[in-house]
Amino acid sequence: MSASVELRDLTLGYRRHPAVHHVSGQFAPGSLTAIVGPNGAGKTTLLRGIAGTLKPLDGEIVRHHCRRGDIAYLPQQADLDRSFPISVGDTIAMGLWRRTGLFGAFGRDCRERLATALSAVGLEGFAPRPIATLSGGQLQRVLFARLLVQDASLILLDEPFAAIDAKTQSDLIGVIRRWHGDGRTIIAVLHDLETVRAHFPQALLLAREAIAWGPTAEALAPAHLLSARRMSERWVDDAPACERVA
């Protein structure tokens, strides 16, 4: 059965100050959902909470049919250290830890999975190359290949199309569609509303609170987008926890 994620009156934040405020709802099993909203709306914070790297200040996150090892999380490229001396192949192989263990043998099956993943993202023959030599688009293909070998039921993507070329974006959308066809649950933080409307059937419009959540055409209706912008303008960064300016 596909994973699902239920948010129950969820508040997330830092140093007791909320960045996501009392959100409730569910990412259905096998759904493909974009999280959108103004800058500072709490989109990345929510994704980190779902990934389990940020604990709730209040409420809870329930991951149905999904253990921690069944979650594949792709952070923003800005969070990655590209100077670290590691090859493309070794970067992708990190996604195989569930199969091999931290110090397990890297056998024929794993090598075949790695080669298949490289082919799926259009990077045949790139395994020996250092990641420091890659373009932004090539690196994102590598990170998608790592997700492919991880074979997770819940996939979380934070701005997966930022600073990449149109061809790479098109190819990676194809990978996401195949995941969706496999029945995996996919949640992606995105900023380009046209991409969301074209490829993501569900959307959560966030502005610290959930403004709208459901079919994309409904969630991104002009009235909801205006409400999200106005809501984001009402928040102040130094407000006490769970309080909002009137």
Give the pLDDT of residue 85.
86
Q: Which domain holds residue 224?
A: 1-66+195-246
Q: Does residue 153 form part of some domain?
A: no
Q: Does residue 179 form part of some domain?
A: no
C-alpha–C-alpha distance, residues 206 and 12, integer Å: 13
C-alpha–C-alpha distance, residues 154 and 69, integer Å: 10
C-alpha–C-alpha distance, residues 131 and 88, integer Å: 6
Q: Please count the structural domains in the chain.
A: 1
| C-alpha 105 chain-centroid distance | 29
C-alpha–C-alpha distance, residues 226 and 45, integer Å: 22
CB 193 within 8 A of CB 203: no
pTM, full prediction? 0.90
Q: Does residue 143 form part of some domain?
A: no
Give the model's confidence band at 245: pLDDT under 50 very low, under 70 low, under 90 confident, else very high.
Answer: very low
The whole-number average pLDDT for the span 135-164 is 94
C-alpha–C-alpha distance, residues 21 and 58, integer Å: 9
**CATH no. for residue 214?**
3.40.50.300
Q: Kindly report, residue by residue over 196-241, the tens digit of the pLDDT.
A: 999 999 999 999 999 999 999 999 999 999 999 888 766 555 555 5
Give the model's confidence band at 6: pLDDT under 50 very low, under 70 low, under 90 confident, else very high.
Answer: very high
Give the pLDDT of residue 241.
54
Q: Does residue 55 form part of some domain?
A: yes
Q: Which two tokens stand for residue 120?
A: 């799926």
Q: Does residue 200 form part of some domain?
A: yes
C-alpha–C-alpha distance, residues 126 and 117, integer Å: 11
> Residue 62: how many CB atoms within 10 A of its CB?
12
* Residue that has been written with the tokens 């024929």 in this structure: 108
Dmax over Cα atoms in the chain, in whole Å?
62
Q: Does residue 112 form part of some domain?
A: no
Q: Which two tokens stand for residue 40?
A: 């500072």
